[in-house]
Structure 1
Amino acid sequence: MDTTIRLTQYAVGGGCACKVPPGELERIVSGLPGGKADGDLLVGIEHGDDAAVVRIDGDRAIVATADFFTPVVDNAYDWGRIAATNALSDVYAMGGEPIVAVNLLAWPRDRIPFDLAAEVLRGGADVCAAAGCHLAGGHSIDDPEPKYGLAVTGLADPRRLLRNDRGKAGTPLTLTKPLGLGVLNNRHKATGEVFDQAVAVMTTLNREASIAAVAAGAVCATDVTGFGLLGHLLKLIRASEVSAEIDAAAVPYLDGARDALAAGFVPGGSRRNLDWVRPAVTSALPDDELLLLADAQTSGGLLVAGELPGHPVIGRLTATDGQPRISVH
Structure 2
Amino acid sequence: MPRKKPKTEEPAAPETTANQPLRLTQLSHGGGCGCKIAPGVLEQILAKTSPVVVPKQLLVGIETSDDAAVYQLNDDQALVATTDFFMPIVDDPFDFGCIAATNALSDVYAMGGTPLLALAVVGMPVKQLPLDTIKRILEGGESVCARARIPIAGGHTIDSVEPIYGLVAIGLVHPDNLKRNSGARPGDKLILGKGLGIGVYSAALKKGLLSASSYTAMIASATQLNTPGRALACLAGVHAMTDVTGFGLLGHLVEICKASKVSAAIDYAALPVLPNVLDYLAEGCMTGASERNWASYGERVVVPKKHFGDLERALLSDPQTSGGLLLACAPEVVTEVLSIFLQEGFDHATVIGEVSAGKAQVSVVNSKAE
**TM-score normalised according to structure 1 size:** 0.95
Return the letter of the residue paired with 1:294: S
Question: What residue in structure 2 maps to residue 223 of structure 1?
Answer: 243
Residue 215 of structure 1: SS of its match in structure 2? coil
CA distance in 1, matches of 2:104, 2:158: 19
The answer for unaligned runs of 5 or more in structure 2 is 1-19, 343-348, 366-370
Q: Does the Cα contact within 8 Å between 2:251 and 2:293 map onto a contact in 1?
A: yes
**TM-score normalised according to structure 2 size:** 0.85
Cα deviation per residue 1:143-197 (whole Å; 9 max; x = unaligned)? 1100000001110011111101111111000000000010111111221734110
Q: Does the Cα contact within 8 Å between 1:16 and 1:226 map onto a contact in 2?
A: yes
Question: What residue in structure 2 maps to residue 135 of structure 1?
Answer: 152
Identity, % of aligned positions: 46
Question: How big is the shift at 1:216?
Answer: 2.8
With 225-234 and 263-272 compared, the bigger mean Cα shift is at: 263-272
CA distance in 2, matches of 1:137, 1:152: 11
CA distance in 1, matches of 2:115, 2:52: 22
Return the letter of the residue paired with 1:213: L
CA distance in 1, matches of 2:54, 2:140: 35
CA distance in 2, matches of 1:98, 1:256: 33
Q: Does 1:213 align with 2:232?
A: yes
Q: Does 1:201 align with 2:258?
A: no
Q: Does 1:313 align with 2:347?
A: no
Cα deviation per residue 1:242-290 (whole Å; 9 max; x = unaligned)? 0000011110101121111111111011111112221111111223112
Q: What RMSD in Å do the two structures reach over aligned CA positions? A: 1.5
Question: What residue in structure 1 maps to residue 256 of structure 2?
Answer: 236
With 147-156 and 26-35 compared, the bigger mean Cα shift is at: 26-35
Q: Does the Cα contact within 8 Å between 2:40 and 2:297 map onto a contact in 1?
A: no
CA distance in 2, matches of 1:167, 1:72: 32
Decide whether aligned partners of structure 1 residues 234 and 41 sit closer, same or farther in structure 2, where only a CA change above 3 A counts.
same
Q: Does 1:290 align with 2:313?
A: yes
CA distance in 1, matches of 2:209, 2:249: 26
Residue 299 of structure 1: SS of its match in structure 2? coil
Q: Does 1:71 align with 2:88?
A: yes
CA distance in 2, matches of 1:102, 1:38: 25
Choose from 263, 277, 281 the match for 2:297: 277
Question: How big is the shift at 1:35?
Answer: 5.8
Q: Does the Cα contact within 8 Å between 2:248 and 2:320 map onto a contact in 1?
A: yes
Return the letter of the residue paired with 1:325: Q
CA distance in 2, matches of 1:118, 1:5: 16
1:75-94 mapped onto 2 (5 Å cutoff): 75-94=92-111
Runs of 4+ in structure 1 deviating by more than 3 angstroms, as ranges, are: 34-38
Number of positions where the alignment pairs a residue of Structure 1 with one of Structure 2: 325
Cα deviation per residue 1:272-315 (whole Å; 9 max; x = unaligned)? 11122211111112231121011011000000112322420000
CA distance in 1, matches of 2:158, 2:316: 35
1:9-20 mapped onto 2 (5 Å cutoff): 9-20=26-37
Question: What residue in structure 2 maps to residue 248 of structure 1?
Answer: 268
CA distance in 2, matches of 1:35, 1:255: 46
Cα deviation per residue 1:73-118 (whole Å; 9 max; x = unaligned)? 0000000000000000010010001101010011001111121110
